[in-house]
Amino acid sequence: MNLYLFKNENISIKEIEWKTPNTYGNNFSLVPNSAGVYLLVVFNNLLEKNNLQIEPEILYVGSSFNLKQRREKHEVKRQLQKFYSYIYFYFKETNNYKDFEIELIKNIRPKFNIQHNG
């Protein structure tokens, strides 16, 4: 089964194509000290009984030259944890992280990325 973290007419993001430090994730990996793009995701309806529809929502897209350091000291994630019980961290290593981040934000328009949502 392909779980899409996001899908529209311009872009589709399959969960399996992104790494995650969540041990129960499909593509487990420790977060590296390298550059890349990351997603902060919540799964709506995940814990509801009798609901087989899992609804991922990408809350925030970011990038960093050091993904591990960014994850450990992420202020946005810390603030979001006040409103969401668990936030999933997905990442993809790339040297072209700034352009990739901007492309994702423009296509996904996450509600907590105010700098590029214009």
Matching residue, tokens 């899409």: 4
Residue 14 confidence class, pLDDT cut points 50, 70, 90: very high
Output the pLDDT for position 117: 54
More confident residue, 74 or 23: 74
User: Whole-prediction pTM value?
Assistant: 0.88
Eight-state DSSP code of residue 9: S
Backbone Cα Rg of the chain: 14
Sorted by sequence, the CB contacts under 8 Å of residue 8 that are 6+ apart come out as 107
Evaluate if residue 78 carries a pLDDT over 80: yes
Cβ atoms of 49 and 36 closer than 8 Å: no
User: Which fold would CATH assign to domain 14-108?
Assistant: GIY-YIG endonuclease (3.40.1440)
- Please count the CA atoms within 13 angstroms of the CA of 46 that sit on its side-chain side: 11
Output the pLDDT for position 48: 59
Evaluate if residue 116 carries a pLDDT over 60: no
Average pLDDT over residues 4-29: 87
Distance CA 111, CA 23 (A): 27
> Among residues of the chain, what percentage have pLDDT more than 70?
86
